[in-house]
Structure 1
Amino acid sequence: MTTSGADLGSPKGMTRRRAETRRRVVEAAYDVFTEMGIRDAPVELICDRAGFTRGAFYSNFASKEELFLAVYEVQTQERTTRLRAAVAEATAAVDPTSPDAVTRVLQDAGVLFMESLTADETWYLLNLEFRAQALRQSDLRAPTAAAERRFHDALAQILLDLLGRLGLRLTVEPHSAVITIVRLYETMLEQAILDELPDTADNRYLTQVLPRLLTALVAPADG
């Protein structure tokens, strides 16, 4: 299976009618996947939810995996848009010269970043299921890596914009910073899920670990 970034939303040259069909299938797939998981989600149920026959599915997607990548692309784009607006609002009234401004803003921004990554436990577990499948299947690795890279690059740009407003810069490559933040949070979230204490773990990470991590990765912009 080969899937390019352009294929995930509405490919160029697609008619309005087909684009609408694709959109409805993607929306239905998101609901069914979050309810049942990718492996157990029947194509027939996705098509039924979208109001189409199986033909609508196979005329747009080669597999459920390709469909999930389209769902992932739409969901991450929506989360990125909301995150960008929320970060801008959170920093608009902040005085960067205030002694506790940096710590407070980084903590608030951390909460917003984590919400964009997980949204809810079900969506996170769905991503985890697909990532495990992509690691096992070589044909899924490249499109999965490309989709993740687009999301992480968008997060990195938002982080750079945030730090710029605070007069700060990253001391490491932006993509590496995002990967570090994301992977550490995922590790803590997974442990919290296993311990059935997600709220406690989330609060500890957001109030203690993440602000210190971000502080360690930044320096004054004029330094």
Structure 2
Amino acid sequence: MTRAAGVPTRKQRQEHTRRCLLDAAARVFARRGLAQASVDEVAADAGFTKGAVYANFASKEELFLEMMDVRFAARLAELDRALSTDEAPVEQARAAGRDFVEHLNLDPEWSRLFIEAGLHASRDATFRAQLLPRYAAMRERMAELLRRRGEAGGLDPGVPYEQLATMVLAMANGVAFERLVQPDTVPDELFSSMLGLFTIGAAGGARAPR
């Protein structure tokens, strides 16, 4: 039987269902927390039954982790774009800071979800064992992006790029937390300025590669 024009395929329907569930999971987990939220709540928010959740995800934790995977990938794509321009490193860093804050403004659940992931991992060893490889992979990818930019500029920052990535993540996480609990004290341009100053300091302490 020929499929009518405009009628989604089974694969397209499945992809749509997964996207809806992931979006609903972000809203519910940000509002209720991973431990308190239920699969029924996520399904209801997405407009599906609980069966639709389990048809796509083995558990509530797997749903949460895949939702985080999507967000980790999006943040890395933003950083990649910022570091791929022809601007000077300091301007690239400032642009990356602006992109991150714009993301926080457009995705207000992100800060709560990220903090929730850390809190739940600190209490649940099984969840921590699943989260940490994902976070490590994101940090390694960030280190690769920073290394690519440093080598293109002929600079060695004097510390391993993995440590440099950890420093950037620590600043980003701190800004996200501060904006969550006391947003009036953290202007939008603060993180951009932080990364600009950090880059100036790293460049000032850099040495030519041996």
DSSP-derived class of the 2:156 partner: strand
Asked if residue 127 in structure 1 is aligned to residue 114 in structure 2, the reply is yes
- The alpha-carbon deviation at position 72 of structure 1 amounts to 0.4
Q: Which moved more, 1:171-180 or 1:114-123?
A: 114-123
- The alpha-carbon deviation at position 87 of structure 1 amounts to 3.0
- Corresponding residue for residue 128 of structure 2: 141
DSSP-derived class of the 2:171 partner: helix
Q: Give the TM-score normalised by the residue count of structure 1.
A: 0.71
- The alpha-carbon deviation at position 73 of structure 1 amounts to 0.5
TM-aligned CA distance change 1:187 to 1:80, over 3 Å:
closer
C-alpha RMSD of the superposition: 3.1
Match of 2:24 among 22, 28, 42: 28
Counterpart AA for 1:105: Q
Counterpart AA for 2:145: I
- Corresponding residue for residue 76 of structure 1: 72
Counterpart AA for 1:212: L
Alignment check: 8 A CA contact 1:167 1:221 kept? yes
Asked if residue 60 in structure 1 is aligned to residue 56 in structure 2, the reply is yes
Q: In the comparison of the two structures, how many residue pairs are matched? A: 198
DSSP-derived class of the 2:56 partner: coil
- Corresponding residue for residue 197 of structure 2: 212
CA distance in 2, matches of 1:116, 1:163: 25
Gaps of 5+ in 1: 1-14, 95-100
Q: Show the 5 A alignment for 1:1-223.
A: 16=11, 20=15, 21-88=17-84, 91-92=85-86, 94=87, 101-112=88-99, 120-200=107-187, 203-207=189-193, 209-218=194-203, 219-222=206-209
TM-aligned CA distance change 1:186 to 1:119, over 3 Å:
farther
TM-aligned CA distance change 1:156 to 1:198, over 3 Å:
farther
- The alpha-carbon deviation at position 77 of structure 1 amounts to 1.3
Alignment check: 8 A CA contact 1:28 1:46 kept? yes
Counterpart AA for 2:192: L
Counterpart AA for 2:197: R
Counterpart AA for 2:198: L
Q: Which moved more, 1:33-42 or 1:71-80?
A: 33-42
Deviations 1:133-188 (A, max 9, x none): 11111111111101111222222222222333333233222222111221133234
Counterpart AA for 1:61: F
TM-aligned CA distance change 1:54 to 1:194, over 3 Å:
closer
Alignment check: 8 A CA contact 1:107 1:206 kept? yes
Counterpart AA for 1:210: L
Counterpart AA for 2:135: E
TM-aligned CA distance change 1:192 to 1:34, over 3 Å:
closer
Q: Give the TM-score normalised by the residue count of structure 2.
A: 0.74
TM-aligned CA distance change 1:109 to 1:168, over 3 Å:
farther
DSSP-derived class of the 1:59 partner: helix
